[in-house]
Amino acid sequence: MEAEVIRAGKIAAEVLEYGAVLIKLGANALSVIDKTELEIKRLNAKPAFPVQIAINNIAAHCIPEKEIVFHEDDVVKLDVGVQVNGWIGDNARTIVFNNENKKIAEAAEKALESALKIIKPGIELGEIGGVIEQVIAGYGFKSVKNLSGHLLERYEQHAGLTIPNFDNKDRTKLEDGMLVAIEPFATNGVGLIEERKDSGIFKVVNIKNVRDNNARELLRFIINEYNALPFSRRWLLGKFPEFKVSFGLRLLKREGVLHEYSQLWEKGSGLVSQAEHTVLVKDPIIITTRKI
């Protein structure tokens, strides 16, 4: 397990750096996503979830439309996950193009670095969140309170345990051998996100029989290809006709087989930055997504 965890993290780190280089003024966001996902496959791994690019006040769960290009004032979050035999490396960073936005990007990065310094078996979750919140506040921003880091398990990106981005007084302790994503978000808004429009990103949440043959065929493919990990509508369009994809996803969602993630927007329309690493909890810890 550990070798696969470390390999997934190493590839995720390489791919995050590759994708970040592609994010330039005037570049097409969807093209960056396509190239970044192809790089994962070139390195003989699979995406743990669709590569996502969230811009400005959108915090997460976003695959931009084709016509979106990057502008000078944009705060761009690139989120990349890689899986090797179901074990996940999950990392993210913020890219900015002007000096005005450097501070908000740095707030999330420094909060992440500070949190990583205190992580060890036995540390309480609220203590980690308190450090993240304190660093972000020191930059003059707010920590996004209803976004968090998370436990990673095989074929499960969000495995129940959450690592807060503020001191929520949670005295649950990290245990030796846990695989966790530490994921600070900083904002100049109100510090909360809300769900908005559908993202086109789905996950199987309840396997059951469905009567429609097309939907049943689509579900078989989804389970075989992605297991319980998130996938995108765009991936299916490369395998099936658009009508079958649209109809099948709509039916499977209505039947409660699939969950579709909503885009997450900052409630006060503030800019949002993000930083993330995956950590194998040991003494000392192994930051699997840190590029050596």
Tokens 């199987």 found at: 204
Burial profile 61-90: b = 16 or more Cβ within 10 angstroms, e = fewer: bbbbeeebebeeebbbbbbbbbbbebbbbb
Q: Spot the catalytic one: 37, 39, 74, 79.
A: 79
150 included as an active-site residue: yes
Decide: 258 and 227 in contact? Cβ < 8 Å: no
Which tokens belong to 155? Answer: 């074929």
Both tokens assigned to 147: 């976004």
Burial 99-125 (b: 16+ CB within 10 A, else e): eebeebbbbbbbbbebbbeebeeebeb
Reply yes or no on whether 90 is catalytic: yes
**DSSP reduced 3-state for 121:** coil
Known catalytic residue: 158? Answer: yes
Task: Tell me the angle at which helices 125-138 and 102-118 cross, rounded to the nearest 10 degrees.
Answer: 150
Q: Where are the beta strands (DSSP E) in 25-126?
A: 46-47, 52-55, 58-60, 75-84, 87-96
Catalytic residue among 14, 74, 106, 183: 183
State the distance between the two ends of the chain, measured CA to CA, in whole angstroms: 21
Q: Does 183 participate in catalysis according to the annotation?
A: yes
| Cβ-based neighbour number of residue 246 at 10 Å | 14
Q: 4 an active-site residue?
A: no
* Residue tagged active-site, from 14, 150, 167, 277: 150
Q: Which amino acid is at 248?
A: G
Q: Which residues are catalytic?
A: 79, 90, 150, 158, 183, 276
